[in-house]
């Protein structure tokens, strides 16, 4: 795909960060910004922040950050071009695409190619369903017999694959798609032998496309309609670069908005359950596609709601097996409820039998929270057997301790004690034992991980032998002076810092103050401190001949210096849209505030000055702190160089005198900065 700069700019301007992120995560307004639990890492409390004024997002937990385009790239795992295509489609921006040759397809990013051929296959299968005699008589008849209307069929992209060995392959080859990409997408099977044979995986079956959360086709399920016992009833796409079964929920794309609006997600087992309920007006429903729930699937639901209601048929064995995996849902902080259907019924058949209103009425009446449901079921099984009842109590307490919220745990312990007719304190004591055990296990795992990550110990530096830097006397002609009007200028003979040295306290301090320095430049560089003197004028003058140690901060400083020579001062947006991802990330960090002032402060007329109101003082202190850290780092480097010198050698003695001059120079800077900051000098 080739897009002009004009089209790219139109897409970027149209993309609203709140709308784009809101397609994948349920956002809640907090002040001027929005928050959510981060979709990029597992967390119980929200640390993901969206700033609509700056059009950026930032997670204070894992550090993920960027603009709308970067979010789509990261959440979907796609490249720049495909992310632009996604946003263009969302905002109805027409883009001209040229027909791709097979050679261009091979050169294209492989992951994007898988999305493209999967989309092609879905459209091809749906065309066969409606436009061929075989598709209509077999596939379309099956769907209509299930009660699916044409609108539902098209909404879910249902289709049919002809009963031919290579029908899809032939059509795809005509369009320029290679067999290699089709095979990697799971659409073809390669059979090795005397003669290698490649054939369509889903031939002679009705097709259920699987969409990811943004609506892209990533895989397929296919059902055979004949009574051939040698063939499995359902076959599914294999794992590919874009499809991981444990991370996907069938129907999530069609359900996500209603899940968010109604604040509950209904979970069923199969494709037809989802489609039937959706057609009946119950849109907030997804399926685990016959597998036990995984952590990734739970976290996918948690993006949109914390409430999950699982719809089971009346099979007791199936329910009991499923219950064993639901503790994991509790651990993720979700509220879990269950609904059982009458014997012999599944969601698909039951909604067909009683209709939408009858189904909703049953769900409302039969919904039970997970702990109560599990307690009732285990007690029925245990009967009057004291040993089985004791086992049931232990199992129920184990489930309750998985709930991360202590208040919810307390409520369930009290309710369960009443049901079991046991002392609440007994359950609490047992629960506390389990909690301590879980915490000990977690701590051991963290300790093991930390031990593995520890770097090899570095030998301690040897002390300076008989050299007292503070006690050295310098002659007047070698003294260097510093006053407020003088910017730092390093002597040219100072050796460069050793880049391979470990980051010590001095270097860490210096980096911190370099960071504070470039923060002022990026956020406030254009603001005038006084007539014709901007923050940039003031700060750049003070470090006129200095190069920052940290490569990223040095890059930002160089950008300001270069633009400043042309009479320009780059603003914050310049860096937010910078091509270097590290520069963009740094700027987002500066623009994102983890903590917000309470609205009560304004009610009580508590005035908190803004950065702009105290900018002059902040800039002055930033200079002083930087000078102090810079000079301390240089003195440390000089002392390290002194260690290897022998004062009895004439050459070494001259070098030592030169280093002592430099040390005196930087000490005077350090002392002046400390005095202005009101810091008592002890060492550095």
Percentage of residues in the chain having pLDDT higher than 70 = 83
> Residue range 93-114: average pLDDT?
65
What does the alpha-carbon distance between residue 57 and residue 59 come to, in Å, rounded to a whole number? Answer: 7
Would you place residue 479 in the very low, low, confident or very high pLDDT band (cuts 50, 70, 90)?
Answer: very low
* Inside any domain, residue 35: yes
pLDDT at residue 12 is higher than 90: no
What's the pLDDT score for residue 343? 82
Domain of 235, in residue numbers:
106-243
76 and 141 inside one domain: no
- CATH number of the domain within which 259 lies: 3.40.1360.10
Residue 120 confidence (pLDDT): 95
What are the b/e assignments for 40-70, b being 16+ CB within 10 Å? eeebeebbbbbbbebbbbbbbbeebbbbbbb
Can you give the pLDDT at residue 95? Answer: 76
Nearest to 156 by CA among 204, 215, 115, 201: 215
pLDDT at 287 over 90: yes
Q: What is the mean pLDDT of the chain?
A: 82
Query: In terms of domains, do 619 and 652 share one?
Result: yes
**Could you say which of 31, 63, 90 is where a domain stops?**
90
Q: Are residues 570 and 650 both part of a single domain?
A: yes
Domain end position, chosen among 32, 56, 90: 90
Q: Is the pLDDT of residue 31 over 50?
A: yes
- Is 123 contained in some domain? yes
Looking at residue 129, what is its pLDDT?
A: 96
* pLDDT bracket for residue 131 (50, 70, 90): very high
pTM of the model: 0.65
Contact call for residues 622 and 539 (beta carbons, < 8 A) = yes
User: Is the residue at 457 inside a domain?
Assistant: no
Same domain, 141 and 84: no
- In order, the DSSP letters of 257-299 are HHHHHHT-EEEESSHHHHHHHHHTT--SEEE-TTS---HHHHH
C-alpha count within 13 angstroms, C-beta hemisphere, residue 358: 10
Least reliable range by pLDDT among 315-324, 499-508, 645-654, 665-674? 499-508
3-state secondary structure of 532: coil
What are the structure tokens assigned to 680, written together? 């008592």
Instruction: Assess if residue 428 is contained within a domain.
Output: yes
pLDDT category of residue 460 using cuts at 50, 70 and 90: very low
Query: Does residue 604 belong to any structural domain of this protein?
Result: no
Residue 443 covered by a domain = no
Exposure string of 107-134, with b = 16+ CB inside 10 Å and e = fewer, is ebeebbbbbbbbebbbebbbebbeebeb
Would you say residue 410 has pLDDT above 70?
yes
Q: What is the dihedral of CA 292, 297, 298, 299, to 10 degrees?
A: 160
Decide if 598 is inside a domain: no
Question: d(Cα 522, Cα 555) in Å, to the nearest integer?
Answer: 12
Q: For residue 526, what are its two tokens?
A: 């254009």
CATH of the domain at 134: 3.90.980.10
More confident call, 99 vs 116: 116
CB 329 within 8 A of CB 293: yes
Q: Where are the alpha helices (DSSP H) in 108-231?
A: 110-131, 133-134, 141-145, 150-155, 167-174, 179-184
**How far, in Å, CA of 367 to CA of 369, rounded?**
7
Instruction: Tell which residue, 104, 75, 286, 67, has the closest CA to residue 181.
Output: 104
pLDDT band with cut points at 50, 70 and 90 for residue 337:
very high
Give alpha helix (H) positions in 368-462: 370-382, 386-401, 406-420, 424-453
Residues 336 and 270 in one domain: yes
Give the pLDDT confidence of 135-155 residue by residue, as tens digits.
999 999 999 999 999 999 999
- Average pLDDT of the residues in 470-496: 35
Task: Please check the confidence at residue 623 and state whether its pLDDT lies above 70.
Answer: yes
Q: Which of 100-104, 115-119, 553-557, 589-593 has the lowest mean pLDDT?
A: 100-104
Residue 234 tokens read as 């359902």
CA distances from 504 to 159, 614, 624 (A): 63, 32, 21
Distance separating alpha carbons of residues 432 and 444, to the nearest angstrom: 18
Q: Is residue 382 pLDDT above 50, yes or no? A: yes
| Average pLDDT of span 69-87 | 83
DSSP assignment of 562-588 equals HHHHTT----HHHHHT-SSHHHHHHHH
Same-domain check for residues 263 and 177: no
Does residue 84 have a pLDDT over 90?
no
Interior/surface letters 438-454, b for 16+ CB within 10 angstroms, e for the rest: eeeeeeeeeeeeeeeee
Q: What is the CATH number of the domain that holds 44?
A: 3.90.580.10
Could you tell me if 422 and 508 lie in one domain? no
Q: Which of 11-20, 265-274, 473-482 has the lowest mean pLDDT?
A: 473-482
Closest CA to 296 of 40, 78, 23: 40
Q: Is 461 helix (H, G, I), strand (E, B) or coil?
A: coil
In terms of domains, do 45 and 114 share one? no
Q: Quick one: pLDDT band at residue 478, thresholds 50, 70, 90?
A: very low
Domain termination residue (choose one: 44, 62, 90): 90
64 torsion bin: left (phi>0), alpha (psi -120 to 50), beta (else): beta
Question: Is 97 or 517 the better-scoring residue by pLDDT?
Answer: 517
Structurally, how many domains does the chain consist of? 4
Answer whether residue 283 shows pLDDT above 80. yes
The pLDDT value given to residue 494: 37
Residue 331 has pLDDT above 60, yes or no: yes
Which phi and psi angles does 288 have, rounded to 5°?
A: -85, 0
pLDDT of residue 99: 56
Average pLDDT over residues 581-610: 71
Select from 24, 36, 28 the least CA-distant residue to 75. 24
The pLDDT of residue 188: 94
Greater model confidence, 337 or 1: 337
Indicate if 212 and 325 belong to the same structural domain.
no
Residues 230 and 259 in one domain: no
Strand bridging mode 528-530 / 533-534: antiparallel
Q: Tell me 250's DSSP state.
A: B
Query: Rounded distance, CA 628 to CA 510, Å?
Result: 9
Same domain, 499 and 636: yes
Given a cut of 80, whether residue 445 has pLDDT beyond it is: no
In a domain, 95, yes or no: no
Same domain, 68 and 116: no
Q: The tokens 């849209």 sit on which residue?
A: 577
């Amino acid at each position: 795909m080739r897009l002009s700069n004009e089209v790219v700019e139109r897409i970027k301007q149209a993309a609203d960060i709140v709308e784009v992120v809101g397609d994948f995560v349920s956002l809640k307004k907090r002040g001027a910004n929005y928050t959510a639990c981060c979709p990029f890492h597992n967390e119980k409390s929200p640390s993901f922040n969206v700033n609509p004024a700056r059009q950026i997002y930032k997670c204070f937990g894992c550090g993920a950050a960027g603009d709308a385009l970067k979010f789509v790239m990261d959440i979907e795992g796609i490249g720049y071009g495909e992310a632009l295509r996604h946003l263009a489609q969302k905002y109805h921006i027409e883009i001209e695409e040229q027909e791709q040759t097979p050679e261009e397809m091979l050169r294209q990013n492989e992951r994007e190619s898988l999305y493209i051929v999967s989309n092609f296959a879905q459209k091809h299968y749906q065309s066969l369903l409606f436009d061929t005699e075989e598709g209509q008589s077999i596939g379309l008849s099956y769907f209509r017999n299930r009660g699916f209307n044409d609108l539902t069929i098209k909404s879910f992209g249902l289709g049919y694959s002809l009963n031919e060995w290579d029908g899809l392959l032939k059509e795809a080859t005509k369009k320029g798609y290679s067999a290699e990409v089709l095979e990697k997408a799971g659409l073809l099977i390669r059979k090795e032998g005397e003669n290698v044979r490649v054939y369509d995986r889903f031939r002679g079956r009705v097709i259920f496309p699987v969409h990811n959360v943004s609506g892209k086709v990533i895989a397929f399920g296919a059902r055979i309609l004949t009574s051939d016992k040698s063939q499995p009833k359902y076959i599914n796409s294999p794992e590919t670069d874009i499809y991981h079964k444990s991370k996907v929920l069938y129907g999530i794309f069609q359900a996500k908005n209603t899940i968010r609006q109604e604040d509950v997600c209904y979970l069923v087992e199969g494709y037809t359950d989802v489609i039937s309920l959706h057609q009946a007006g119950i849109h907030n429903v997804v399926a685990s596609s016959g597998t036990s729930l995984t952590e990734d699937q739970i976290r996918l639901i948690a993006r949109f709601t914390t409430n999950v209601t699982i719809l089971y048929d009346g099979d007791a064995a199936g329910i009991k097996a499923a219950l064993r995996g639901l503790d994991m849902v509790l651990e993720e902080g979700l509220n879990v409820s269950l609904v059982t259907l009458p014997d012999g019924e599944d969601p698909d058949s039951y909604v067909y039998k009683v209709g939408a209103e009858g189904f909703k009425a049953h769900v409302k009446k039969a919904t039970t929270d997970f702990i109560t449901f599990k307690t009732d079921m285990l007690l029925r099984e245990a009967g009057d057997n004291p040993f089985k009842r004791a086992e049931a109590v232990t199992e129920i307490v184990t489930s309750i301790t998985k709930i991360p919220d202590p208040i919810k745990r307390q409520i369930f312990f009290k309710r369960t004690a009443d049901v079991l007719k046991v002392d609440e304190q007994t359950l609490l004591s047992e629960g506390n034992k389990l909690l301590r055990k879980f915490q000990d296990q977690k701590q051991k795992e963290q300790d093991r991980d930390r031990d593995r990550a520890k770097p090899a110990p570095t030998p301690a530096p040897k002390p300076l032998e008989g050299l007292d830097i503070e006690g050295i006397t310098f002659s007047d002609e070698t003294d260097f002076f510093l006053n407020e009007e003088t910017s730092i200028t390093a002597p040219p003979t100072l050796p460069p810092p050793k880049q391979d040295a470990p980051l010590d306290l001095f270097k860490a301090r210096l980096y911190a103050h370099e960071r504070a320095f470039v923060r002022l430049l990026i956020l406030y560089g254009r603001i005038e401190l006084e007539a014709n003197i901007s923050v940039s004028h003031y700060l750049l003058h003070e470090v006129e001949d200095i190069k920052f140690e940290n490569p990223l901060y040095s890059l930002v400083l160089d950008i300001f210096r270069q633009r400043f020579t042309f009479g320009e001062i780059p603003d914050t947006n310049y860096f937010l849209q910078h091509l270097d991802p590290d520069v963009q990330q740094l700027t987002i960090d500066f623009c994102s505030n983890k903590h917000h002032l309470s609205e009560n402060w304004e009610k009580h007329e508590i005035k908190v000055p803004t950065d702009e109101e105290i900018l002059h003082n902040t800039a002055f202190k930033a200079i002083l702190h930087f000078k102090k850290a810079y000079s301390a780092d240089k003195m440390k480097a000089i002392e390290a160089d002194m260690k290897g010198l022998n004062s009895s050698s004439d050459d070494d003695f001259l070098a030592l005198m030169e280093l002592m001059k430099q040390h005196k120079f930087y000490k005077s800077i350090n002392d002046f900065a400390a005095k202005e900051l009101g810091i008592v000098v002890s060492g550095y």
